[in-house]
Structures are given as C-alpha cells and as structure tokens.
Amino acid sequence: MIRNRSKSPRRPSPSSRGANCDVDLLKSTARDREELKCMLEKYERHLAEIQGNVKVLTSERDKTFLLYEQAQEEIARLRREMMKTCKSPKSTTAHAILRRVETERDVAFTDLRRMTTERDSLRERLKIAQETAFNEKAHLEQRIEELECTVHNLDDERMEQMSNMTLMKETITTVEKEMKSLARKAMDTESELGRQKAENNSLRLLYENTEKDLSDTQRHLAKKKYELQLTQEKIMCLDEKIDNFTRQSIAQREEISILGATLNDLAKEKECLQACLDKKSENIASLGESLAMKEKTISGMKNIIAEMEQASRQSTEALIMCEQDISRMRRQLDETNDELAQIARERDILAHENDALQEQFNKAKQENQALSKKLNDTHNELNDIKQKVQDTNLEVNKLKNILKSEESENRQIMEQLRKANEDAENWENKARQAEAENNNLKLELITAEAEVNRLKEKVDALNRELEQMENELDSARSEIELLRSQMTNERISMQNLEALLVANRDKEYQSQIALQEKESEIQLLKEHLCLAENKMAIQSRDVAQFRNVVTQLEADLDITKRQLGTERFERERAVQELRRQNYSSNVYHLSSVKPNSKCHSPDRAHHRSPDRGLDRSLEE
C-alpha cells in the first residue's frame, strides 16, 4: 500500500511527521506480534515436553504391566513347584521366597495403582494444558488477526487523514483569502463610513440652516398674518364707511327730492334757522376736522398696504429659497439612503460568508471528532495488548512538537480573527455615533416642532386680541352712526337751502368721484387680498410639504435605526459564533494530536510495506 503512494515533496511537512509516527507505531505493533509469536512457540515447546513425558510414562506403564505379568507367571510357577515339593526340606525356603514374592507383588500392585492415578492425573493435566494451549493459540491468532486488521485500518485512516489534511490546508488557505478580502472590505467600509460621517455633518449643518430659515419664515409669516389681519380689519372698516357713504348719498338724493318740495316751507323757516346756523356751522367745522383725520387714516392704510405688498414679495422670495434648500436636502437624503442600502447589502454578503465559514468549520470539527473516536479505540486496543509507556511518551513528545507548530498557526489565525473582530467593533462604534447624530437631529426636530406649537399659541393669542379689537371697532362704528344721525338731523335743520343745495350738489359730485376712487381702491385692495390669500395658501402648502418631509425624514431615521439594530445584533451573533469557532478550533487542535500521529510520510514511498514486513517476521 505504501509503494502505491505518491512521492514526498522536498520540503518537510506535518503530514511527513505524522507518517513517521505511523511507521513507529507499525514497528511497535510488529515487535508485539513477534513477542506474541515467541510466546506461542514457548507454549508449543511446553506442550511437546508434556507430550514426551506422557509417552515416557505410558512406556513405563507398559513395562510395569509386563513385569507384573512376569511376576504373576513366576508366582504361579513357584506355587506349582511348591505344591509339588511341599513335603521336601526346602519348603520353608520356598515359603519364604513366596512370601517375599507376594510382598513384592503387593508393592508392585501399589506402584501400579499409584502409576495409574498419576497417569490419569497426567492425562487430565495434558487435556487441560492442550485445551488451554489451543485456547491461547486461538486467542493469540485472533489477536494477531485483529492487529493485522487494525494495521490495515490504520493505513486506510492514515490515507484518509492525509486527504483530510490536504482538504484542511485548502480550507485554511481559502479562509485566509476570505479573511484578507474581509479586511479589505473592512477598510473600504471604514472609508465609506468616514465619508458618510462627513456627509452627515454637512447634512446636519444644512438641516440646522433650514431649521433657522424655517423659523425665520415662520416669524415672517406670523408677522404677515398679523399685518394681513390688520389690513382686513381696516378694509372692513373702509367697506363699512363706503356703505355708510352710499346710504348717505341715497339719503341725500331723497333729501334733494324732499328739499325740492320743501323749498317753500324752508323759505318760511329760513329766518328761524339762521339763528341755528351759527351753532351748526361750529358743529360742521368739527365734523370737517374729523373727516380730515379719517382721510389721513385712509392714506396711512394705503401706505401699510404698500408695505404689506413688499413684505409679501420678500416672503415669496424666502419661500423660493427654502424650496430650493429642501430640494437639495431631498437629493442628499436620497444619496444617503442609497449608500445605506449598499452598506446593508455588503453586510448581508459578509453574514453569508460567515455562515459558509461556520458550516465548513462544523464539518471539519465533525470529521475530526470521528477520527479522534477511531484513533481512541485503536489506541485503547493497543494499550490493552501491551502498555508501552516509553514509546507512547516519545510519540506524545513528537505530537506535542507538531501541536506547537499547529498552535502557532492557529494563533496567527486567531490574531487575524481578533483583528477582524476589532474592525467589526470599530464599525459598530461608528454606527453608534451615526445613531447618536441621528438622535440629535431628531431632538432638534422635536425642538423645532415645539417652537412651531409655541408660535401657533402666539397666533391664537393674537387672534383673540384681534377679536377684542373688532369688538372695539364695533363700538366705534356705533359711535360713528350716532354722529352720522346727528349730522343728518343737523343737515335737515339747515335754513339756507340754496347754499345747502349747491353744497349738496357739489358734495354729491365729489362724493361720486370719491366713491369711484374708493371703489377702485377697494378693488385694488381686494386684488391685493386675493394675492395675499393665494400666497398664504402657497405658504400653507409649503409648510405642509415641509411637515411631510420632516415625517419622511423621521420614518427614514426609524428605518435606519432598525437596520442598524438588526445589523448590530447580527454582528454580535457573528462575533459569538466566531468565538465559539475559535474555542471549537482549539478543542479540535487538542483532539487532533492523535490523528496527526497517523499521517503518512511520502518520503517512505520506496520502502517495503508493513504487511510484508509483518508476514516475514511471522515466517521467521
């Protein structure tokens, strides 16, 4: 089997060391087999000696039987002779000889019985020895066969371990390549995280600027709302005044028609009314002053309306700028979302790669456990045959050296894994910083919403004040109506009807001109109001859009937080799995002490096979 292996490479490898250890184990097993063979030969010699002793004893037994038969024949012959010569003087001597022969016969009988008992005992011992020898021989032959089977199994396992070692080397090289690729990806992700951090800082600054612009625009809007409410109130007052003027013109026309009929009556009352004219002239002067004051207020209202138009233009320009900033912010948010999606994809790829590595490590661990079990069984059988502590100590020392070399390699791999874990922790810290920045942005959004609510409350308070002002305006209108009623009463009581008619005609003409001017002004004010309302609607839409953008940003922030939480959990799980794999790899290297001792050395390609060496030792 060893001759069929490929030649060894020039550089020494841990597989050659393991093969040398396997050759030492084969030599030790061959020595054990030779010793067992010597013991078998000793048992066979002992059995041959026992069989020789049995043959000698059987020959001695046969001799004793022959002597016994000869003695019986002599005794019978002597009895016959004694019976023939019983009356002779030599009978006494014959009786003595007969007694001596009988005693010898008895001794021979006892010896024969003793020899038979010894023969039976020796037969039993021989049977027992043969049975034990056959049993021991069968047991030893069985053990020799088992040892040969174990040697063949060890050769097969050695080849399997050689293939497993090559596979493990390939997996280690692939893992190293993957670790290098992971390190490169970690560097790329760090650079991307730095870039994203800078972009987040720029986005945060832009967000702060937009919030400031929003707060400024909200203040301007509140001011404009207040000014618009004031203008609306003034416009309402002007509408009421225009209605009053129209009523007055209608009343004056009716008065003109009545005055045409009452000229004759007034001519009679002229003298009475001249006395009242002086008093009424004073009242008219006061009313003229009040009209001049009202005209001044109207001119002030026109100036306020012009200022409102300028402010509305400025607010539209500010809103356009805000819309541009918001579009820019949306583009930047889309870019950040795309980058976050890319990072999530890369993290998923890293998680898949870690799962594949974990499966490979689990497979290698299972194979190593099976090999360690087989090796433990073979070592236990070899220790049961012969407990050779010195040889095992030498093997353990060799394996310790191999383990040290492998532990150094494992330490390098562990250092690489530790570096990868440190990189992952750095990524997690950076992700936490990004989360903190996002939380700060969220807090700033909450503060902005609180400011918006506060401004809303201020607007409500201003609305209440406006209602109070409207109530005051109603009271002022009632006073104006009273004054107008007094004016009508005073005009009715005028005595100089001609002067009044001329004055009334002039007033009618002037009032018509003023009404036309006021109607044109009212139309202009209405147009301005429509424009202001349109601008307010646009601004409200923009505010709603801003709120939608803010809600979208909050939703995106929540999604990114969830993604970061899931990624953090996956990273922690990957770190725990890597730690478990490191622990399992340490256990694997401790348990692979015995498998490495079984590795095949390609340097022994030209040596003779262990099976032939064992056969030759058995033949010797």
Domain range annotation of the chain: 197-358+419-503+539-583
Distance (Å, rounded) from C-alpha 562 to C-alpha 438?
A: 12
Could you report the per-residue pLDDT of 384-412, keeping only the tens digit for each?
A: 655 655 665 676 567 667 767 666 766 77
Q: How many alpha carbons fall within 13 Å on the CB side of residue 79?
A: 8
| Residue (of 210, 218, 211) closest to 458 by Cα position | 218
What φ, ψ does residue 161 adopt, rounded to 5°? -70, -35
Number of CB atoms found within 10 A of residue 504's CB: 19
| Identity of residue 131 | E
Distance (Å, rounded) from C-alpha 528 to C-alpha 535?
A: 10
Distance (Å, rounded) from C-alpha 315 to C-alpha 312?
A: 5
Query: In sequence order, what are the residues at sequence separation of 6 or more whose Cβ sits closer than 8 angstroms to the Cβ of residue 536?
Result: 224, 225, 228
What secondary structure letter does DSSP report for 494? -
Distance (Å, rounded) from C-alpha 445 to C-alpha 523?
A: 43
| Residue (of 602, 594, 147, 600) closest to 371 by Cα position | 594
What φ, ψ does residue 76 adopt, rounded to 5°? -65, -40
pLDDT score recorded for residue 256: 65
Low-confidence ranges of the chain (pLDDT < 50): 1-15, 593-620
| Residue (of 588, 166, 595, 165) closest to 374 by Cα position | 595
What secondary structure letter does DSSP report for 567? H
Cβ burial, residue 117 (10 Å; 0-12/13-18/19+): exposed
Yes or no: say if 30 and 615 are a contact pair by the CB < 8 Å rule. Answer: no
Distance (Å, rounded) from C-alpha 477 to C-alpha 473?
A: 6
- Considering Cα of 66, then 72, then 77, then 82, what sign does the dihedral take? positive
| Residue (of 60, 48, 55) closest to 129 by Cα position | 48
| Residue (of 17, 9, 170) closest to 596 by Cα position | 17
The token duo for 199 is 């972009």
Distance (Å, rounded) from C-alpha 92 to C-alpha 96?
A: 6
Distance (Å, rounded) from C-alpha 145 to C-alpha 138?
A: 10
Distance (Å, rounded) from C-alpha 86 to C-alpha 451?
A: 165
Q: DSSP secondary structure string, 434-479? A: HHHHHHHHHHHHHHHHHHHHHHHHHHHHHHHHHHHHHHHHHHHHHH
What secondary structure letter does DSSP report for 9? P
The token duo for 143 is 């053990």
